Amino acid sequence: MGLRLSVLDTSPVVQGSTPRQALLNTVDLAELAEELGFHRYWVPEHHGMRGVASSSPAVLVGHLATATRRLRVGSGGVLLPNHPPLVVAEQFGTLAALHPGRIDLGIGRAPGGAPHVVAHLRRTERPYREQLEELQALLDPGDTTAVPVKGGNVPELWLLGSSPATATLAADLGVPFAFARHLSPGQTAKADLVSVAVIAAEDDERAEWLAGPIRAKVRSRREGRRILLPSPHDVEPGPDDGRVLVGGPETITRKLQAVLDETATGELMITSPIYHHADRRRSYELVASIATGLRPAGTAEQ
């Protein structure tokens, strides 16, 4: 099997835009991803973050699945301590019944927002593994509790994490592991899927210019300030902190191949923190165009 490319989209609300526009951009990008041959499209769960419009994965997944035809669509991910496992099983069982063979259920454990916002969610203090095991049981078509799951309407369950410890838990539970490298670029873990932040452009110079806003945003966060992603016209160039792979096609090919060799994965999930939606679309087009030059781990070079 060749390399699979997928998309992780937070529905970014950039400076001067709105949550509605961010969600419309997500629908447009999902349609483009399907056209380009991407394998799956995941949206996360975040709460109270001004720059992220994706707060309700089940709702957004259903809309994206309706807007596309073949693309696998899922959560990247549902933060399980925020929800009763039965509700998650019912929601994603319903989605799997309406869109057979196309729904992924990625599960994470992070809060998803600041403490004063997360307090509204009434997060459980139950052990995470106990919750996961309950969810697995509820997704068994032979269990009659989560009615929409009956008859085999079961989403593909994934465990999401940014450390080798989560990889070990996924192996124990027998579910595939998605490694959030874009959150922990210094960590290394073998994974079924690796998410990586990429800004691709026609050449290195333009890519560096497009990377200015996300570097400014990361810098402001470290200084205790929260800003929306600004326009590249409004920021000064900043140093590369290694969180985002930036460059033209040749540079991105080299950097993505290094990730493949490091993690032994056969699937890369791309997230692209770019201000202008047209530039974000172009970045995904360029990544798709270089995919044939990338070699999944264990594939001999031609």
Question: How confident is the model over 177-194, as pLDDT tens digits?
Answer: 999 988 877 666 778 999
pLDDT at 144: 78
pLDDT at 164: 86
Residue 297 has pLDDT above 60, yes or no: yes
Residue 83 has pLDDT above 70, yes or no: yes
Q: How far apart are CA 158 and CA 208, in angstroms?
A: 33
Region class of 188: left (phi > 0), else alpha (psi between -120 and 50), else beta: beta
pLDDT at 240: 82
Q: Name residue 36's beta-bridge partners.
A: none
**Domain range 4-293, CATH class:** alpha beta
Taking the C-alpha atoms of 112, 118, 121 and 124 in order, what is their torsion angle to the nearest 10 degrees? 80
Which has the higher per-residue pLDDT, 196 or 162?
Answer: 196
Instruction: Please report which confidence band the pLDDT of residue 299 belongs to, taking 50, 70 and 90 as the band edges.
Output: low
Q: How far apart are CA 281 and CA 48, in angstroms?
A: 26
CB 283 within 8 A of CB 274: yes
What mean pLDDT is reported for the chain? 93
Question: How confident is the model over 225-284, as pLDDT tens digits?
Answer: 889 999 999 998 778 888 899 999 999 999 999 999 988 899 999 999 999 999 999 999
The pTM of this model reads 0.95
Question: How confident is the model over 46-71, as pLDDT tens digits?
Answer: 999 999 999 999 999 999 999 999 99
